[in-house]
């Protein structure tokens, strides 16, 4: 019976259904009870909430984000259906609260369920410090940390194997060495070009981060740049010169992936100490085949991250101070569904 392909398909479908959990029939947020606000970002109009599913102790992280303005929505707001209430006025200046129609006042909601402690820590407001990771620190600290503490990437394999999100794929190259899948990031609504955000996930599973990149991976990186930018221009009309294409280090999940965002969008994780532009990564590897095995890479680590304790135990001198406000606001940049 184990060799029966129908039996195998049933088992696979059941596993997918089990992983889906609450997402299969979620129609309102009444299923949740709000436990605490983990982080509130007034600049980005985003709030991360720790919640539980009613009737159970299953934890969840729910991220609420005000949707971006689009030209059709702005035009629709300027109508008699938008009610305004005056807060105050002084000479020629007036301040009002506005209440557009319901369909123009939506939220983008991301639900992580069931959430692990790592998800909760990631979306919690914390102080940060800067680490200058030498190749020696990578070998002695990071590699052991990755074995024990990295996020589960089964959701990535679901995409690569077309078990989930296949209808969202914008571009796919199935080549096992140079191929990738390009699809909208969870942080994008898929329509508003001002905050366009897609991610390319490589097909091969032996690359975790830019630390693994060598000269033999140049065809992969060039392929992602060329086919990814061409696909975005075909689908959305946004040329390569209006895209910011980069990799994160440290990444939120350890399966090599590349971010594509509009240059008009100050996306989470585009600051120094996080983002490495893909053309520069390609150039570095062209100049020195083992550049990322020899380079010192700097990045922010949050105070409650288990990695911080590992650095301390390794004798790294850490003095926790508040990171600049712009950095604090981008710490929890959920790459995809991590």
Q: What is the pLDDT of residue 315?
A: 83
- Does residue 314 form part of some domain? yes
Q: What is the pLDDT of residue 6?
A: 38
Per-residue pLDDT tens for 72-90?
888 888 988 899 999 978 8
Q: Are residues 91 and 135 in the same domain?
A: no
Domain boundary among 42, 67, 92: 67
Domain boundary among 49, 67, 85: 67
- Does residue 116 form part of some domain? no
Q: Are residues 161 and 227 in the same domain?
A: yes
- Does residue 48 form part of some domain? yes
CATH number at residue 253: 3.30.428.10
Report how many domains make up the chain. Answer: 3
3-state secondary structure the chain: CCCCHHHHHHHHHHHHHHHHHHHHCCCCHHHEEEEEEEEEECCCCEEEEEEEECCCCCEEEEEEEECCCCHHHHHHHCCCCCEEEEEEEECCEEEEEEECCHHHCCEEEEEECCCCHHHHHHCCCCCEEEEEECHHHHHHHHHHHHHHHCCCCHHHHHHHCCCCCHHHCCEEECCCCCCEEEEECCCCCCCCHHHCEEEEEECCCCCCCHHHCCHHHHHHHHHHHHHHHHHHHHHHCCCHHHEEEEEECCCCCCCCEEEEEECCCCCCCCCCCCEEEHHHHHHHHHHCCCHHHHCCEEEEEECCCHHHHHHHHCCCCCCCECCCHHHHCCCCCCCCCC
Q: Are residues 160 and 86 in the same domain?
A: no
Q: What is the pLDDT of residue 91?
A: 85
Q: Are residues 254 and 295 in the same domain?
A: yes
Q: Are residues 185 and 251 in the same domain?
A: yes
Q: Are residues 57 and 189 in the same domain?
A: no
Sheet of 180-184, strand order: 171-173, 180-184, 197-202, 257-262, 243-248, 275-277
Q: Are residues 24 and 87 in the same domain?
A: no
Q: Are residues 94 and 230 in the same domain?
A: no
- Does residue 117 form part of some domain? no
Q: What is the pLDDT of residue 150?
A: 63
Q: Are residues 98 and 150 in the same domain?
A: no
Q: What is the pLDDT of residue 304?
A: 76
**Domain extent at residue 84:** 71-103
Q: Are residues 256 and 292 in the same domain?
A: yes
Active site amino acids: 257
- Does residue 333 form part of some domain? no
Q: What is the pLDDT of residue 201?
A: 98
Q: Are residues 202 and 62 in the same domain?
A: no
- Does residue 112 form part of some domain? no
pLDDT less than 70: residues of the chain: 1-21, 125-126, 149-151, 318-338
Q: Are residues 278 and 192 in the same domain?
A: yes
């Amino acid at each position: 019976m184990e060799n029966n392909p129908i039996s195998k398909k049933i088992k696979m479908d059941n596993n997918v259904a089990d992983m889906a959990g609450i997402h299969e029939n979620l129609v309102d947020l009444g299923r949740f009870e709000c436990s605490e606000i983990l982080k509130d970002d007034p600049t980005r109009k985003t709030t991360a909430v720790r919640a539980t599913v009613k009737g159970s102790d299953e934890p969840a992280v729910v991220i609420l984000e005000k949707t971006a303005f689009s030209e059709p929505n702005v035009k629709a707001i300027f109508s008699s259906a938008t009610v305004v209430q005056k807060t105050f006025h002084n000479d020629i200046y007036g301040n009002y609260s506005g209440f557009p129609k319901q369909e123009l006042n939506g939220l983008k909601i991301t639900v992580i369920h069931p959430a692990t402690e790592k998800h909760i820590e990631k979306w919690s407001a914390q102080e940060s410090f800067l680490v200058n990771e030498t190749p020696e620190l990578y070998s002695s600290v990071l590699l052991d940390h990755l074995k024990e503490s990295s996020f589960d990437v089964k959701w990535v394999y679901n995409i690569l194997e077309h078990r989930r999100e296949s209808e969202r794929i914008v571009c796919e190259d199935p080549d096992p060495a140079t191929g990738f899948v390009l699809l909208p990031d969870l942080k994008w609504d898929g329509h508003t070009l001002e905050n366009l955000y897609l991610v390319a996930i490589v097909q091969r599973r032996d690359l975790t981060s830019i630390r693994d990149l060598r000269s033999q991976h140049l065809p992969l990186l060039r392929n992602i740049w060329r086919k990814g930018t061409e696909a975005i221009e075909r689908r959305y009309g946004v040329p390569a010169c209006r895209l910011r294409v980069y990799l994160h280090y440290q990444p939120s999940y350890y399966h090599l992936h590349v971010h594509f965002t509009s240059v008009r969008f100050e996306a989470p994780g585009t600051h120094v100490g996080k983002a490495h532009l893909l053309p520069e990564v390609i150039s570095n590897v062209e100049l020195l085949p083992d550049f990322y095995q020899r380079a010192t890479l700097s990045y922010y680590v949050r105070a409650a991250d288990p990695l911080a304790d590992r650095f301390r135990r390794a004798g790294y001198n850490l003095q926790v101070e508040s990171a600049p406000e712009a950095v604090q606001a981008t710490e929890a940049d959920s790459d995809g569904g991590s």
